[in-house]
Structure 1
Amino acid sequence: MTDRNLPDWRSILFVPVLNERFIGGAAARGADCIQLDLEDAIPPEQKQLAREHVASVADRLSSEGCDIVVRINRPWPMAVADIQASVRPSVRALTLPKVPHAGHIGSICEILDEVEREKGVAAGHTGLIVMIETAEALFRMDKIARASKRIIGLIVGAEDLAVSMGMRPTHQSLLAPNVQAVAAARAAGCMPLGFVGSVAGYSDLEGYRALIREARELGFTGAFAIHPNQVPILNAEFAPSSEEVKAARDLIATFDQGMKEGRGAISYQGKMVDLPVVEQARAIVAAHARFSSE
């Protein structure tokens, strides 16, 4: 996996950039990242007003300790205006909806190069989270994910993909695209974000927890949240439990002792353990170290 200096974002909470009540409480929600939305949460007649507010809101929330991303719009005239309004030191990344192919990423990056230069922002500062939401993009995920070192995350947009594919957004229909997304993201070296389900179903929190547990098992590292009640679930389920950490440490210690005794594989709790299993255990311990300060 290529190192892209990825952030540790388990929870990325949507906040409409024109909703002062949500903005005022955003920093206290516990999300690893706040996503200011210029797309679906903003009516067409308020897009320009939202652009005019995004800089001050991003700076304000950044000063309160939040990592900030901004989801921009897809049509080119709106996208360019959104980029001009959003690029600044306080904005860590832009989320790109409905990315059709790798060439689209190239064009976005060319614009970002120019805007960062104009604004005196460090070259390459602005990362990208790519949304796969069309049938056109589905079979191009690998090339899209590898299109730029700016890409830090990849996610399937369930509802829009379902419309494009003419399918219902069910667990069965969304499983294959999401597993494909994990593979594309891991191969490219960016974060696999999401879960197998619709982001719209936020009222059933226990059902949501089950989906997030499954998402971690599938290889996802974080996901978008559209409601603050989802944030604690994301933070808990995308981090290893204390039981997992203890078991991982015990396994590593047993394996290390076996290596000292000249054995390349060991028996641990009735199961054969070799290096790939130990690497999984080490990944659990490393993930715990990243989040243990909370």
Structure 2
Amino acid sequence: MTSLRPRRSVLYMPGSNARALEKAKTLAADALILDLEDAVAPDAKEAARDQVMAAVKAGGFGRREVVIRVNGTHTPWGKADLAAAAAAGPDAILIPKVSTPGDITLTAKAIRDFGAPEHTRLWAMMETPTAILNADSIVRTALDPAARLSVLVMGTNDIAKETRARLTKGRLSMLAYLSICVAAARAHGVDIVDGVYNDFSDEAGFRAECEQGRDLGMDGKTLIHPKQVEICNEVFAPAEAEIAFARRVIEIFDLPENQSKGALQVDGKMVERLHADMARRTVAIAEAISAQT
């Protein structure tokens, strides 16, 4: 199986806050989004850009995946953000307000023209009604390596704003939008991380929403506060019992006498070969998490 990169906890850090950027180097988040968009006031955009690029070039983030969220190309700062981010060479560049496949392909061409290294991927914010309606065609661009698309990021606050849906407990109003994007991501082999939970003081509510996102098929969750990292990492990591059972499933299906069998009994449970594939992924992500701690 191809090596996996854990993306359980994806923490937004304001690009205009130098102390936050430095603190990010000490946090247990799997990925950091250094934000030039929503978290930065218009009069601080250029200074934030310079500060974020300097931080990325200086490094020191360790095993954490470093992502720069740029301003949209329709804004006064978008083109300069893309050029600077491409030159800085982060792990990924996050594109806001993606609505069509062209948003991916044109951005990929732009960062290539700006000299982005091959390792710099694109992440896409899914935060508009048009993005939801075009989810399959947007994510289908990932089938072309030149598009660089590797992760979808759900922008649930913006979806709520644009659709007039209410973000109520249990997120009934969001489930269709979230599930459509999970299906598109899985169909075309990209990761997907859930939207933020706004009340960072509500640990019980946050844990419940992490569990819901995990059960929907999300790979992780975007966060707005460092105190959310620990719970998020716990929920989106396979439990010890789950890992042990997965290893047992793999062990039994790998026995020579079971190579041609499609279903077997494992510890009193009927398990099909598709469960062995799921078990291999469980073990792979557990090992990837263990390797970075």
Q: Under a length normalisation based on structure 1, what TM-score does the superposition of the two structures give?
A: 0.89
After the TM superposition, which residues 21-60 of structure 1 pair with which residues of structure 2 at under 5 Å, given as runs? 21-60=19-58
- Unaligned 5+ residue runs, structure 1? none
Partner of residue 220 from structure 1, selected from 193, 218, 221: 218
1:125 offset after TM fit, Å? Answer: 3.2
Q: Residue deviations 1:14-67, cap 9 Å, x none?
A: 11122122122111111112211101110011111111222111123x234143
In structure 2, C-alpha distance between the alignment counterparts of 1:233 and 1:48, rounded to whole Å: 34
1:266 offset after TM fit, Å? Answer: 1.7
Determine the structure 2 residue equivalent to 1:86: 85
Letter in 1 for 2:105: G
CA RMSD of aligned residues (A): 2.2
Determine the structure 2 residue equivalent to 1:172: 172
Q: Residue deviations 1:173-210, cap 9 Å, x none?
A: 11111111111111121111115xx5312221222122
Letter in 2 for 1:16: P
1:69 offset after TM fit, Å? Answer: 0.6
Determine the structure 2 residue equivalent to 1:210: 208
In structure 2, C-alpha distance between the alignment counterparts of 1:264 and 1:106, rounded to whole Å: 41
Q: Is 2:66–2:90's contact at 8 Å kept on the other side of the alignment?
A: yes
Instruction: Indicate whether 1:63 and 2:60 are aligned.
Output: yes
After the TM superposition, which residues 112-131 of structure 1 pair with which residues of structure 2 at under 5 Å, given as runs? 112-116=111-115, 121-122=116-117, 124-131=118-125
Determine the structure 1 residue equivalent to 2:157: 159
Letter in 2 for 1:181: C
Change (3 A) 1:42 1:244: same
Q: Is 2:98–2:104's contact at 8 Å kept on the other side of the alignment?
A: yes
In structure 2, C-alpha distance between the alignment counterparts of 1:89 and 1:261, rounded to whole Å: 49
After the TM superposition, which residues 233-272 of structure 1 pair with which residues of structure 2 at under 5 Å, given as runs? 233-257=231-255, 259-260=257-258, 263-272=261-270
1:70 offset after TM fit, Å? Answer: 0.7
Q: Is 1:30–1:231's contact at 8 Å kept on the other side of the alignment?
A: yes
Q: What SS does the aligned partner of 1:173 have? A: helix
In structure 1, C-alpha distance between the alignment counterparts of 2:25 and 2:281, rounded to whole Å: 29
In structure 2, C-alpha distance between the alignment counterparts of 1:221 and 1:70, rounded to whole Å: 19
Determine the structure 2 residue equivalent to 1:192: 192
Letter in 1 for 2:153: I
Q: Percent identity?
A: 35
Q: Is 2:139–2:185's contact at 8 Å kept on the other side of the alignment?
A: yes
Determine the structure 1 residue equivalent to 2:127: 133
Q: What SS does the aligned partner of 1:31 have? A: coil
Q: Under a length normalisation based on structure 2, what TM-score does the superposition of the two structures give?
A: 0.89
Runs of 4+ with deviation above 3 angstroms: 254-264
After the TM superposition, which residues 274-289 of structure 1 pair with which residues of structure 2 at under 5 Å, given as runs? 274-289=272-287
